[in-house]
Amino acid sequence: MSLTGDSGQQDVPGLKLGGLDPIFDAFDMGEIDDVPAATHWPDIPPADVPDRWDELRGWVEQLQSRFAHLDHHVIPRCWWRHNEHVEALSALRDHELVSFAETAPATAPVDWFRALRDIAALLRSWTGELSCGADHKDSAAAPSGPLDEEWEAFVQGDLEERIRGSDRVDGSPDPA
């Protein structure tokens, strides 16, 4: 049995797929490219970055003009300089594109409004923690992770405690 049948489709042993051709032919597979995909901001290829920034900026400006409550307390003037704002706004834009697509169910816009509410609350919280006012202020450096020695001591302590706990047959706490 060959891996590929006469139609170029992969054959599966014991399953005849040739009868499915009319079903698949009814769909315009070119439309699959029109379905918006989620944007993972760190993975945007360098060649696409300028256009993506322009698209996001235009969308954010339009969003703020549509929803007056998304003022500078929610989306600061320098939002693009704060990665958490960029990624949250990008995710909200992607959600809107899918929610209002022709193929979206009638309930999808309500889901988008829930996402808008949730993201606006996050943005308001994050913006409140910033020092930005009329001018951008860099955020304080993020706290660093534990030192290697601290981490190793913690893991070793946890391991020893678990070993002591498994040595007790009755499951009672360690008297020490």
DSSP string for residues in 115-172:
HHHHHHHHHHHHHHT---SSS--PPPPPPP---HHHHHHHHHHHHHHHHHHHH-SS-P
Percent of the chain predicted with pLDDT > 90: 48
Domain residues of the chain, as ranges?
A: 18-128
pLDDT band, residue 1 (cuts 50/70/90): very low
Q: How distant is the alpha carbon of residue 82 from its chain centre?
A: 16
Average pLDDT over residues 22-45: 70
What predicted TM-score, i.e. pTM, was given to this entire model? 0.64
Following CA atoms 19, 20, 26, 27 in sequence, which dihedral angle do they give, to the nearest 10 degrees?
-160
Task: Supply 99's token pair.
Answer: 């929610």
Q: What is the mean pLDDT of residues 30-45?
A: 76
Cα separations (Å) of 57 from 14, 61, 79, 111?
A: 53, 6, 10, 23
Tokens at residue 120, please?
A: 């606006």
At 100-157, the pLDDT tens digits run 999 899 999 999 999 999 999 999 999 998 878 667 777 766 667 778 888 888 888 8
SS3 15: strand
Instruction: Please indicate whether residue 76 or residue 162 has the higher confidence score (pLDDT).
Output: 76
The first and second tokens of residue 150, run together, are: 């601290």
Nearest-angstrom CA–CA distance, 77 and 133: 8
Q: What residue type is 33 in one-letter code?
A: D
Confidence of residue 175 (pLDDT cuts 50, 70, 90): low
